[in-house]
Amino acid sequence: MHRGNDVNAHAREDTQRTLLAQEAAHWMVLQHAGELDESHLRALKLWRDRSPEHERAWQAAQELRLLLAQVPQDVGLKTLSAAGRARRQAVRGVLTATLATPLAWWMWHTIGREWTAEYRTAVGERRTETLADGSRIWLNTGSAVNVRFTATERALELVAGEVLVETAHSDLPLPPLEVVVNAGRVRALGTRFLVRELREARWRVAVLRHAVRIRPARSDASQAVELHAGMQTDFDAHRAGGTRPADDNAAAWRDGVLVARDMRLVDLTAEIGRYRRGFLGCAPEVANLRISGVFQLDDTDRTLRALAESLSLAIRERTRYWVTLTAKSQGT
């Protein structure tokens, strides 16, 4: 009888762990898609604070994402078997529990495509590549690109993140170079340009030289938009928005800096947050502070300390992966 009670207790614990892992996976998907607004973040904090088990489930889910982001392409799943036993069990627990749901399948499908891309960068990493046709690409933080060069196609599939493209001149009759995203195609017209992933399946294109032609996936050729040097626009699968002047420093990340001109603190922390793991935000009472300056991206901790000192802010660290800038309390 006693053993039966033990079995039932273990079964209940396993069920609870599975449910918590599935909930953690749900939050991780929202985080990965950039859909955690302030109300979501408050709800996530309440969920994590509900019990130590909730917090452990969240940390295990983050462990999975961090592990996948750090594994080199040529190592693959072998790293899982080489990981420490405790770490491996945590990752396997989240993976096993979450893959049983359609939501988690979407998560795995999305992260997996990034993980297996031909060229990719981890969070905080940047890299440059010269392609077979002589064109050059620069990948920003957390980006993934596949290259498809054939006799009839020159395509860069941007799976995630941001890429700066500089096309090479050629006397050969090559197909036009295109950046392909889930919302459409951006065709280079002898050019230098940026394509960046935004939220909700939207993308931003900024042209630094010459021009590009943007064709949303669910539109016909007559709805293609031509964008010229010094301009930018956002687009989704249905249409491109209005054009506006591009930021002169949009590609400054290539040199490891972020240039802010009268930027709100909430927007600045969102940009810096792209280059570090976890959540970086600011409290509502300081969100609208206006900032101008040049910020280093290779050491975001140092950048945050300098920012906090110059604005008389406090840095609140719930964990190393959850950092918030707030107003200083009186007497501190």
Rounded Cα gap, residues 47 and 24, in angstroms: 9
108-135 residue pLDDT tens: 455 556 767 889 998 899 999 999 999 9
pLDDT category, 38, cuts 50, 70, 90? Answer: confident
Give 295's strand partners: 258
DSSP characters for 84-139? Answer: -HHHHHHHHHHHHHHTTSHHHHHHHHHHHHHHT-SEE--TT--EEEE-TTS-EEEE
CATH class of 256-327: alpha beta
Distance CA 275, CA 167 (A): 26
What's the rounded Cα separation, in Å, for the pair 297 and 255? 9
What is residue 310's DSSP assignment? H
Computed over every residue of the chain, the mean pLDDT equals 81
H or E stretch at 211: strand 203-216
* List of residues 6+ apart from 177 with CB closer than 8 A: 133, 135, 154, 155, 156, 165, 167, 187, 188
- pLDDT of 22 reads 67
On the question of a common fold for 119-245 and 256-327, the answer reads: no
Q: How far is Cα of residue 195 from the mean position of the Cα atoms in its chain?
A: 14
Q: What are the structural domain ranges in the chain?
A: 2-115, 119-245, 256-327
Picking from 294, 256, 32, the residue whose alpha carbon sits closest to that of residue 138 is: 256
Distance CA 109, CA 158 (A): 15
Residue 170 has pLDDT above 90, yes or no: no
Q: Is the pLDDT of residue 186 over 60?
A: yes
pLDDT at residue number 215: 95
Strands 177-181 and 154-160: parallel
β-pairing, 119-120 vs 127-130, is unpaired
Distance between CA 328 and CA 137 in Å, rounded? 42
Phi-psi region of 201 (alpha: psi -120 to 50; beta: other; left: phi over 0): left
* pLDDT band, very low/low/confident/very high, at 257 (cuts 50, 70, 90): very high
For residues 297 and 275, the answer to whether their CB atoms sit within 8 Å is: yes
Choosing among 1.10.260.30, 2.60.120.1440, 2.60.120.460, 3.90.470.20, the CATH entry for 119-245 is 2.60.120.1440
**What integer pLDDT is reported at residue 51 of this predicted model?**
76
Cα distance between residue 296 and residue 304, in whole Å: 10
CA separation, residue 11 to residues 5, 6, 8 (Å): 10, 9, 5
Give dist(CA 227, CA 215) in Å, integer. 11
pLDDT tens digit sequence for 216-250: 999 887 789 999 999 999 999 999 989 999 999 99
